[in-house]
Structure 1
Amino acid sequence: MAEQETAGNSTTERMQAEVAELQRLNSEPFATSALGYIKRTGPGLLQSAMTLGAGSAAASVIAGASFGYKLLWVQPVAMFLGVMMLGALSNVVLTTGERPYKSFGREIGKWLVVLWALGTIMSSIIWHFPQYGLAASAARDLGDLQGIVSTPPEIGSANALIEEAQKTKDAVQIAAANEALASARSETPMGLGFTQAGLMVSFGIGLLILCINIVTTFNYGGDSRGVRVYEWFLRGCIALVVVMFGMVVVAKIDVVAGDIGEIFKGFIGWYGIPNLWNPDGTMNNSTVTQVLGMLGAAVGINMTFLYPYSLLKKGWGKDHKKLARWDLGMTMFLPFVLVTSLVIIAMKVGGVYDGADVVNTTIKPLGAAKALSGVLGENAGRVIFDLGLIGMTCGAISTHMVVCGFTFCEMFGLEQTKSRFRMFALVPAIGILGVISSLPIWFPVAASAVCFTMLPIAYFAFLIMNNKRSYIGDAVGSGWTRVVFNLVLVIALAVATIGSGIKIYGNVIQKLFPAKAPAAAVIQGDALSSVQPIEMKE
């Protein structure tokens, strides 16, 4: 008991000292206060690491490979809207200090928070699989470069046929390519499309990432020192990703310098949505779907649940509101925009973009890595891009584990102890099977239906709660700033609703009621990664 009181007193004293320091920073010049705030950031890191995963990698690769620099504006706008909505959520939580599962259930309805938590758990488990799948694919690619054969020659030949068939769209050629691919896969262990060595490499990287994340995640479930250790781990993951993708871009700095005007135009949305209209005057649905899907899914439902609890875990309150805004800007918005922009730019300067301005859904992150082989010398660009992909998945996997540790405790009404947090954090670890397999189609379909439906509902709840004077008092704001902020929130809600609708259509309706097409006109998929990542955005 005496030890607990001592620990409690120590925490109180530390928080009082931190509040006093924040008040001092408010009176300092901008440069000094900015540096002080940046040193104390943290919760935004978890959001940044969670969204920088397989989904972001795939979306950025497709955007860059399809349109070059022209969609550089999309990811910053998408994340800005997400940050604004999380800013509203932080205003509510920091004002009241209440745990949102309890307070939202009381103020809005228990059914809402149950679905919110359920969607968070489902998405965290489902999105775990493609993270491991992408990491394993990148590791096998690195193994191939080191002479550890993981892709049989027959698979490579079938891939070449697939690529040609995708270009020509000839039904006979497509049928032949599919048959060759199926035959080649049948000769590999478990029909996976890679050798026994590839199987070992896949599980090796999966187990390594899992072990690293168990250690770091368990730290987060401990005391304040453990939280700091975990946050530095995430900083390391994000820094690795930035450095890896940055090296690919810097290697072509002469091209970047020559294209600086086009890059600037891409960031300010000069080209809007390229190739928006078909020659016959109809709207190009594939381009619109790609852009709106990116805009509406930068923030996932599990991120909305994790964020307020990470604020409370840090002990933040009313005096930390300005720090929370800095945190979202510096450790969530900035890293996300930097990484996704670097990937898009790499697609252009590395020669992956062919100038057609047509959505290329056939290219995947691993294919992009292969295309960048010679950027830094023989195969160096490919190695660096693969390492960047592994770094992205490692950070996302850890945050999925953290959010499950929080969510299960809240759903079951349990006090969050160290042992309970760690036990529940291990639930999504089943996703390690993603190194060799994907989930049965009904599972991601069901998860998509719940998660993408819940995101706009959660956004609507945040909008209501942030304007509920009976609950947060004067923290609702006043004057023109409140009007502008609420207008941005409404835009964010509308975009999230449209984006979620697109995702539900693609991941649920089209999967349940696929359009009938000639069997020969169906491409079986890229055998470079026989484990296909689930096309969902974190």
Structure 2
Amino acid sequence: MTDVESSPLGSERERIAAYPLAEAIPEDRLNAELAALERMDEKPLPLRIPGYFRLGGPGFMGAAATLGAGTLTAAMLSGAQFGYKTLWVSLVAMGSGIFMMLAMARFTAKGQTPVIQLQQREHGWFMAKVLTAFLGLVCVATVFNFGQVALGTELVESISAGLGVDWPREWNWPIYGLITSWVALSYGRGGRGVYYVECFMKLCLLAMLLCFAACLIVVGIDWGAALKGLFVPWLPRGAQGIDLFIASSAAAIGVMDWVFFNYAGLSKGWGPRHERLARADVYIGFALPFLLISFMVICVFAGTLHSAGDVPTTAIGLSKALVPLLGETGAKYAFLFGFLMVPLTTTVAMSIVCAIGLHEIFGWRPDVRSWRWKTCILLPQIALLGAWLPSPVLIIIVIAAMLSLTNNIVGWSFFLLLNDKKVMGENRSKSWGWNVGILVQVTMLNSVALMWVLNRMGLWG
């Protein structure tokens, strides 16, 4: 008897009805994907990797969401202020985060039910609807998108100015809003809506990699210092070091990333026979792009602005300081274009996350053709006000403070669900190392988020 046949939901088509966004996927396409996975399983790992790239998606979506304005600003500042010395922080942040992401792969493939619905059933509506869906998804997507829009519209202004066109962000914001809204609204539409959005995210990640790699070739890299920075932990003393570690760690992985992977996998119709693909997608689609792009950005700024005296502390200020140092080459435009992909993909991801969260809060059936889904997916576009207004710093601090508690409590909830035999049956976690890894991440996320808030309020360091 196969895993699918032993599933409590029965057939493949009955199983994917657990999350309606997968219903538009034709049966023959699902069967063809499963057949391709079976053929891949017979090959050695190096020959399976191209297939994982092609069939994966939720991991790439998560990487594109995580590599937002906050993550890249932290990487730019790290390189500009401390050179290669803090490269190891990205490894620590991702290394600890992998455990919970692999738990999401298990929930997606074996749990067969949206994780927020599992939470509500086992841990109550407050845990599921308030802490996870409202604070962890909707608030983060809506409030933090202000930073993405401000960065994206400013970058469009910088690129157009380099081409001799005056197109300030007060005028270019409709283009940013139209592109991100159109891509987000395409998610789940028709039989290939999920596939098209995943391709958009993959292409944007590829553009980031190629553009930042071009800059790194122009700038060069001190491999001795880079290797030392990767494997020898170092932080500056005092509040500056604490602030750096907090910014780099807290920006990496949290509730939104955990839940997004689960729902994105369910939207692809993933089930028991997709677990190996889901786990590979965590490594290849999520972790690898995050680590490579963070590494390149830190190294570019380490090779240019490090030891250059006072450096700006904002993403736009840092990019404007970097561009002249790239010389009269295409590298400066490559950097700006690659950097523009960062807020674009994050806004798209946050729009989808917001719609998922709101539908779970109110118990609505997700239907991408309905006005309700479209309204929910467009809610984060309120951040287009960021083209004229500064980011709502006070609100961001309040939401971050709430997330400090949310990350910890929601993390414990997922940990308990993963180990609950009533919920997961024989698919529950039986690995001591896996459980310890999840608890380390939950504890670290809670600590760094709380320290970040206290630091911003002047109560720490």
> TM-score, normalized by length of structure 1?
0.76
Matched pairs, number: 438
**Which residue in 2 is equivalent to 1:250?**
217
Equivalent residues in 2 for 1:119-198 (5 A)? 119=135, 120-147=137-164
CA contact (8 A) 2:246 2:449 kept: no
Picking from 316, 325, 328, the partner of 1:378 is 328
Q: Structure 2, unaligned stretches of length 5 or more?
A: 1-12, 15-21
* AA aligned opposite 2:388: I
Equivalent residues in 2 for 1:350-499 (5 A)? 350=304, 352-354=305-307, 362-378=312-328, 380-418=330-368, 419=370, 420-478=372-430, 482-499=431-448
Picking from 266, 271, 294, the partner of 1:317 is 271
**Which residue in 2 is equivalent to 1:275?**
236
User: What is the distance in 1 between the residues matched to 2:159 and 2:32?
Assistant: 48
Note if 1:328 corresponds to 2:285. Answer: no
* AA aligned opposite 1:346: V
User: What is the distance in 2 between the residues matched to 1:437 and 1:12?
Assistant: 48
Picking from 260, 263, 277, the partner of 2:226 is 263
Per the TM alignment, residue 215 of structure 1 is displaced from its structure 2 partner at its CA by 1.8
User: What is the distance in 2 between the residues matched to 1:309 and 1:499?
Assistant: 26
User: What is the distance in 1 between the residues matched to 2:199 and 2:23?
Assistant: 24
**Which residue in 2 is equivalent to 1:203?**
170
3-state DSSP class of the match of 1:73?
helix
Per the TM alignment, residue 144 of structure 1 is displaced from its structure 2 partner at its CA by 4.1
* AA aligned opposite 2:428: V
Per the TM alignment, residue 142 of structure 1 is displaced from its structure 2 partner at its CA by 3.1
User: What is the distance in 2 between the residues matched to 1:208 and 1:403?
Assistant: 21
User: What is the distance in 1 between the residues matched to 2:302 and 2:436?
Assistant: 35
CA contact (8 A) 1:296 1:496 kept: yes
CA contact (8 A) 1:89 1:466 kept: no
3-state DSSP class of the match of 2:83?
helix
CA contact (8 A) 2:419 2:428 kept: yes
Per the TM alignment, residue 36 of structure 1 is displaced from its structure 2 partner at its CA by 1.9
Note if 1:118 corresponds to 2:118. Answer: no
CA distance 1:296–1:128, change in 2 (3 Å): closer
User: What is the distance in 1 between the residues matched to 2:164 and 2:24?
Assistant: 58
Per the TM alignment, residue 295 of structure 1 is displaced from its structure 2 partner at its CA by 2.1
3-state DSSP class of the match of 2:192?
helix
Per the TM alignment, residue 252 of structure 1 is displaced from its structure 2 partner at its CA by 2.5
User: What is the distance in 2 between the residues matched to 1:410 and 1:477?
Assistant: 26
Greater Cα offset, 129-138 or 9-18:
9-18
User: What is the distance in 1 between the residues matched to 2:356 and 2:288?
Assistant: 26
CA distance 1:380–1:412, change in 2 (3 Å): same
Q: Structure 1, unaligned stretches of length 5 or more?
A: 149-196, 277-283, 516-538
Per the TM alignment, residue 71 of structure 1 is displaced from its structure 2 partner at its CA by 0.8
Note if 1:294 corresponds to 2:261. Answer: no
- Which deviations, in whole Å up to 9, do the C-alpha atoms of 1:470-517 show, x marking residues without a partner? 211121243xxx11111211211121121111123135x44xx899xx
- Which deviations, in whole Å up to 9, do the C-alpha atoms of 1:76-95 show, x marking residues without a partner? 22122222212112212321
User: What is the distance in 1 between the residues matched to 2:300 and 2:144?
Assistant: 25
CA distance 1:473–1:43, change in 2 (3 Å): same
User: What is the distance in 2 between the residues matched to 1:467 and 1:63?
Assistant: 38
Larger radius of gyration: 1
**Which residue in 2 is equivalent to 1:155?**
none
User: What is the distance in 2 between the residues matched to 1:213 and 1:112?
Assistant: 30
**Which residue in 1 is equivalent to 2:50?**
35
- Which deviations, in whole Å up to 9, do the C-alpha atoms of 1:142-190 show, x marking residues without a partner? 3443455xxxxxxxxxxxxxxxxxxxxxxxxxxxxxxxxxxxxxxxxxx
User: What is the distance in 1 between the residues matched to 2:198 and 2:392?
Assistant: 34
Per the TM alignment, residue 33 of structure 1 is displaced from its structure 2 partner at its CA by 2.1
User: What is the distance in 1 between the residues matched to 2:164 and 2:53?
Assistant: 44
CA contact (8 A) 2:105 2:278 kept: yes
User: What is the distance in 2 between the residues matched to 1:437 and 1:506?
Assistant: 24
- Which deviations, in whole Å up to 9, do the C-alpha atoms of 1:204-252 show, x marking residues without a partner? 4321121112221121131331111111111121122112211110113
User: What is the distance in 2 between the residues matched to 1:16 and 1:143?
Assistant: 47
CA contact (8 A) 2:250 2:448 kept: yes
User: What is the distance in 2 between the residues matched to 1:373 and 1:13?
Assistant: 49
* AA aligned opposite 2:437: V
Per the TM alignment, residue 313 of structure 1 is displaced from its structure 2 partner at its CA by 0.3
User: What is the distance in 2 between the residues matched to 1:442 and 1:274?
Assistant: 28
What percent of counterpart residues are identical?
Answer: 24
CA distance 1:382–1:401, change in 2 (3 Å): same
Per the TM alignment, residue 27 of structure 1 is displaced from its structure 2 partner at its CA by 2.1
Per the TM alignment, residue 348 of structure 1 is displaced from its structure 2 partner at its CA by 1.5
User: What is the distance in 2 between the residues matched to 1:110 and 1:8?
Assistant: 26
Picking from 66, 70, 74, the partner of 1:51 is 66
**Which residue in 1 is equivalent to 2:18?**
none
3-state DSSP class of the match of 2:141?
helix
Per the TM alignment, residue 98 of structure 1 is displaced from its structure 2 partner at its CA by 0.9
User: What is the distance in 2 between the residues matched to 1:205 and 1:325?
Assistant: 40
CA distance 1:134–1:491, change in 2 (3 Å): same
